[in-house]
Structure 1
């Protein structure tokens, strides 16, 4: 989390008491209000924080993190931190939702939601989910989630790219320049992530996980996918790799690591390299002679064991002449 985020949340939580469950809390939640001076506008804003059961919250359907990919392993650091602190330190950002079911939808704080839910399900029912309730439009919610998660390493390039691609049409009418201005990023930077989001699903499926699909992968494959023949070869190889990844997830064999996935897809797209014609040294046209093959800095000489001594000597004389310029 950036220093800017730390400063904001430190101010929000400054006056929160350590015990999140006072006896006089009838609804099982706690309202925590703190006035926050807004220097630019000269007005004051009330921040409302509550401790709630995480079951009262669901992920916003356009949340930029794939909640289904969260596990005990990849949230272990946060789970251990909450256990050590005795409570969640920083509030998740939510807004009220309409209709039956959960009361809130989570804009920022999916990992915190998973961690608290996991703890409550594993013998720590005292933990509650700290939320800050805000009134946000969809576009404001998108920008807020992007600002909070942009510098987080645990949000993958592909999750971020997919979120940007959806937002481009939903909130900015397909205008990339407008979106870049609202997010305060360069058009070139945004364009690279949108290119990643356009990777064919069959190609994305070749990676061990979408968390391992990087923006640089899309850049490497872009020229190949722009050519119809090369794109077809890339997708055919991607299907083969995806089957290997599925088998590995089922316990059959090892997963293909991300660097090897990219190498195989590039090799497929580029096609087989033309082989150099072999050089043959022979005394007479009807003889098989000595075949020279060169690979890198290595030379291999092959000949039949039936070749006569005279024919072999004549062939080697030709090789030496070609190699060292002797006549």
Structure 2
């Protein structure tokens, strides 16, 4: 059974009550495995979700800020397959989870189901106003809501590792007194894996912008980048390289060229940080605060200048190049 089917089945129904059996001698408890931890989490989700369903309009719900998914980043393209599924079934098969907000601007707050909420909101605004959101009302505190949302979100492939890391960092401070081991035990995640996710939040936005999409920045990339980022001198080199890569990503996007993949971005950032003196070096060319190209310098003191298309005039580009040329000292002295 696929992971998507597994979460669907877990959320659709709770396990049957256990039948009494004759007492047996207690055996040593087996060591918990990743699979057993995940199934325990699914079982907890199923028990918490055993509630009658209601139907409501997406406009009746505010969005809980504690969920990992950034609602503002959802688009028709990202949610297209779910839109088609909901349209075919005339509603969401797996209910969302809401809680009442007596003092809120809207009667409910959505805890789980941001994609389903977005999809039905989109359908309501695009010729299908009668489709409603199937929901379960549950009285959850923030910590329980976080754990329940995490069970579902870990099975979704369209939440970036960075979003998870940011969500986990907020949760460990908000619900577990800053103690990662306590949170790891509650959400059935290894301490090392939790630390790796949270580590991604140390990556500065300058470096994140070098990736074509936050989805391209993965935990395994953070393992390679963070030891260098934590060294100020190397971090500065990486940020300089990241600005160049980001400008190149923008240029490729404007020309409908394929973006630079995440692994290649990481390789270039590491190379920039670990480049030995005397070998090829790069410098960003900026004009009016915008990167318009780069200069490659090698140990033979030869220069290669690459310029990106821009709206600047020839005089403005030359003005940006002049200080570089004047300080380069590459002109031969008169004999």
Q: Same fold (TM over 0.5)?
A: yes
**Structure whose residues are more often helix by fraction:** 2
The question of whether the paired residues in 2 share the 8 Å contact of 1:94 and 1:131 is answered with: yes
Alignment partner of 1:143 is 2:131: no
Higher mean C-alpha displacement, 221-230 vs 87-96: 221-230
Kindly state the Cα deviation for residue 171 of structure 1 after the two structures are TM-superposed: 0.8
Whole-angstrom CA distance in 1 between matches of 2:48 and 2:126? 41
**Alignment partner, residue 182 of structure 1:** 186
Structure 1 residues without counterparts, runs of 5 or longer: 13-35, 276-327
Q: How does 1:132-281 map to 2 (within 5 A)?
A: 132-246=136-250, 251=254, 254=257, 255-272=259-276
**Alignment partner, residue 103 of structure 1:** 107
Of 6, 9, 13 in structure 2, the residue corresponding to residue 7 of structure 1 is 9
**Alignment partner, residue 130 of structure 1:** 134
Higher relative contact order (CA 8 A, sep 6+): 2
Deviations 1:56-81 (A, max 9, x none): 11210122101111111111110111
The question of whether the paired residues in 2 share the 8 Å contact of 1:37 and 1:45 is answered with: no
**Alignment partner, residue 87 of structure 1:** 91
Kindly state the Cα deviation for residue 186 of structure 1 after the two structures are TM-superposed: 1.2
Kindly state the Cα deviation for residue 168 of structure 1 after the two structures are TM-superposed: 1.1
Q: Call closer, same or farther: CA 1:98–1:234 in 2, change over 3 Å.
A: farther
Whole-angstrom CA distance in 1 between matches of 2:146 and 2:49? 21
Whole-angstrom CA distance in 1 between matches of 2:249 and 2:209? 9
The question of whether the paired residues in 2 share the 8 Å contact of 1:37 and 1:44 is answered with: no
Give me the TM-score of the superposition, normalised by structure 2: 0.68
Of 42, 49, 53 in structure 2, the residue corresponding to residue 49 of structure 1 is 53
Whole-angstrom CA distance in 2 between matches of 1:85 and 1:270? 54
**Alignment partner, residue 60 of structure 1:** 64
The question of whether the paired residues in 2 share the 8 Å contact of 1:95 and 1:134 is answered with: yes
The question of whether the paired residues in 1 share the 8 Å contact of 2:99 and 2:137 is answered with: yes
Kindly state the Cα deviation for residue 121 of structure 1 after the two structures are TM-superposed: 0.9
Kindly state the Cα deviation for residue 138 of structure 1 after the two structures are TM-superposed: 0.7
Whole-angstrom CA distance in 2 between matches of 1:209 and 1:229? 26
Structure 2 residues without counterparts, runs of 5 or longer: 20-46, 280-335
Kindly state the Cα deviation for residue 5 of structure 1 after the two structures are TM-superposed: 2.6
Whole-angstrom CA distance in 2 between matches of 1:157 and 1:77? 21
Whole-angstrom CA distance in 1 between matches of 2:48 and 2:91? 28
Give me the TM-score of the superposition, normalised by structure 1: 0.69
Whole-angstrom CA distance in 1 between matches of 2:61 and 2:49? 24
SS of equivalent residue, structure 2 residue 77: coil
Deviations 1:97-147 (A, max 9, x none): 243422211111011011111111111112111111111111111111101
